[in-house]
Chain A
């Protein structure tokens, strides 16, 4: 199996979210960046497990500038064989997907794996777009993937339940909880990651279909209104008469 795992660089879950330049830029000051958790825990680890069972290779791909290289090395430390970075500022999902599809087309991957969404833009977009651009089937929010040679059996989350799907490689899939257990890189992996190949590919021309014009923080939450533990009925009165939701 020749497997491509697309990874995004995102601020750590606990990062403070703030904006600069008149609320048009994310403030990266003091922010730790990580591999998008769904890409790492589910897509990458499942890709590695399939490779370990069936043989083949796992390549990680990131779209971004050279500042992303340390994050890409983290994915190599977890066990990917090599990495590709497409030198392109990923601002719009369709433009990003176009870059990935252009690259993947020539490489004939058996599967291209994504996390279900990134924890920064929460788009759930790039995977489905890449599938369409490659004219391959797309399975979103998959919680299980079993491969038997070329044949895949996938479980995906649907509204109110799950669906079992059969699909033959090549395909594109976005991974959700249940797919795999997170792996912690060991010292050997971290050492090996330093010398694994990280190829930089120049971007092809593509236009942005969307752009963020400004960001906004939600209004600060007021103080919590505490209700006496001896009189919880008051809570329901507040929910009915003040919040008007019951």
Chain B
């Protein structure tokens, strides 16, 4: 089965999640046969690197209509690429780009979409993809019955494997319609490490008592090479910017390491972080519900524990790793 991958780009760079999607497609194709073709809808830094994760070919569209992110046009381009390459499977990332594009593509191709896949498809009996449901409290094995199979891969859930291919970058023309969306401005956050892409996250809650106390959180994050996050009350009180709010209403993340400091662990917060690989909880209250979902814990005062952690991290020289 030939596979098309959406190599999403932003500000002329191939996004990290595009490499994950490519690796997912490549792991599937090496098991079932077929070629992997990545489609980029702009010139971007890093296109040649898609071959490293298993793209047999990279198609690149140069069309001024795609200068801004236009999900319906990208879906049209993916459909055209799938037809050109006789692909029955399209893989995207279940990030904010994939959430826009994948459902449109499914409607255009009458395809079956599994969004937020956490494992490779199982083809023992049909084409079944595992995804997280009920905000991480369960998984569903979903069978795609339609001819066109569309999978959006949950970021940070598939191990990115190198599988170097000699992939050429070819230009690709697709007849695109006109978008009725007019992008007037992009406001990028100043942070170098967007939360949803961070491998490690240090998060803090009301237990920190005030925004002036965040220095230790930022310093610990820096020493661990982690992004910072916060609980809902903290963002509601404007102690921290809203984009740092993780939980059901905020951002859902699944880093390898999530350290929660002074967060009690309400179910709404857990819904946004419970798919993290390792959870560490630091709280003064031994009865805090978060400890039940944690792998490691420290019962203690953040103002006492965190500075010691920073010292220890400095001694281990973790920041340089």
Give which listed residue, A11, A212, A226, A243, contacts B298 with CB less than 8 A: A226
Give which listed residue, A124, A163, A178, A218, contacts B99 with CB less than 8 A: A124
Q: Are A177 and B242 in contact (CB under 8 A)?
A: yes
A30 at the interface (CB under 8 A from B): no
Known: A119-B134, A124-B99, A214-B141. A238 touches B71 (CB 8 A): no
Interface flags, B155-186, vs A, CB<8A=1, else 0:
00000000000000000000000011111111
Q: Are B242 and A13 in contact (CB under 8 A)?
A: no
In the bound complex, CA of A97 to CA of B71 (Å): 18
Chain B residues whose C-beta falls within 8 Å of the C-beta of A209 in the assembled complex: 106, 110-113, 144-146
- The A interface is mostly helix, strand or loop, or mixed, namely mixed
B256 at the interface (CB under 8 A from A): yes
Chain B residues whose C-beta falls within 8 Å of the C-beta of A165 in the assembled complex: 181-184
A72 at the interface (CB under 8 A from B): no
Known: A217-B138, A245-B277. A125 touches B113 (CB 8 A): yes
In the bound complex, CA of A73 to CA of B183 (Å): 37
CB distance from A14 to the nearest CB of B (A): 5
Q: Are B103 and A125 in contact (CB under 8 A)?
A: yes
In the bound complex, CA of A165 to CA of B71 (Å): 13
In the bound complex, CA of A224 to CA of B288 (Å): 12
Q: Are B291 and A224 in contact (CB under 8 A)?
A: yes
B23 at the interface (CB under 8 A from A): no
Known: A17-B134, A120-B134, A141-B99. A164 touches B297 (CB 8 A): no
Chain B residues whose C-beta falls within 8 Å of the C-beta of A245 in the assembled complex: 200, 256-257, 277-278
B194 at the interface (CB under 8 A from A): yes
Interface size class, chain A: 35 or more
- The B interface is mostly helix, strand or loop, or mixed, namely mixed
In the bound complex, CA of A77 to CA of B170 (Å): 56
In the bound complex, CA of A155 to CA of B304 (Å): 41
The interface-forming segment of B42-50, B53-61, B210-218, B312-320 is B312-320
Chain A residues whose C-beta falls within 8 Å of the C-beta of B97 in the assembled complex: 158-159
Interface size (B, Cβ < 8 Å)? 101
Q: Are B194 and A160 in contact (CB under 8 A)?
A: yes
Q: Are A210 and B138 in contact (CB under 8 A)?
A: no
Chain A residues whose C-beta falls within 8 Å of the C-beta of B197 in the assembled complex: 159
Q: Are B72 and A131 in contact (CB under 8 A)?
A: yes
List which A221-240 residues lie within 8 A (CB) of chain B: 221-222, 224-229, 232-233, 235-236, 238-240
**Which of B181, B182, B242, B297 lies at the interface centre, i.e. has the most chain A CB atoms within 10 A of its CB?**
B181
Q: Are A137 and B141 in contact (CB under 8 A)?
A: no
Q: Are B110 and A94 in contact (CB under 8 A)?
A: yes
Q: Are A125 and B267 in contact (CB under 8 A)?
A: no
Chain B residues whose C-beta falls within 8 Å of the C-beta of A125 in the assembled complex: 102-103, 106, 113, 115
CB distance from B96 to the nearest CB of A (A): 5
In the bound complex, CA of A28 to CA of B19 (Å): 39
A63 at the interface (CB under 8 A from B): no
In the bound complex, CA of A231 to CA of B184 (Å): 52
Chain A residues whose C-beta falls within 8 Å of the C-beta of B138 in the assembled complex: 17, 19, 215-218
Give which listed residue, A92, A126, A163, A239, contacts B186 with CB less than 8 A: A163
In the bound complex, CA of A194 to CA of B242 (Å): 37
In the bound complex, CA of A84 to CA of B208 (Å): 47
Minimum CB distance partner of A97 in chain B: B107
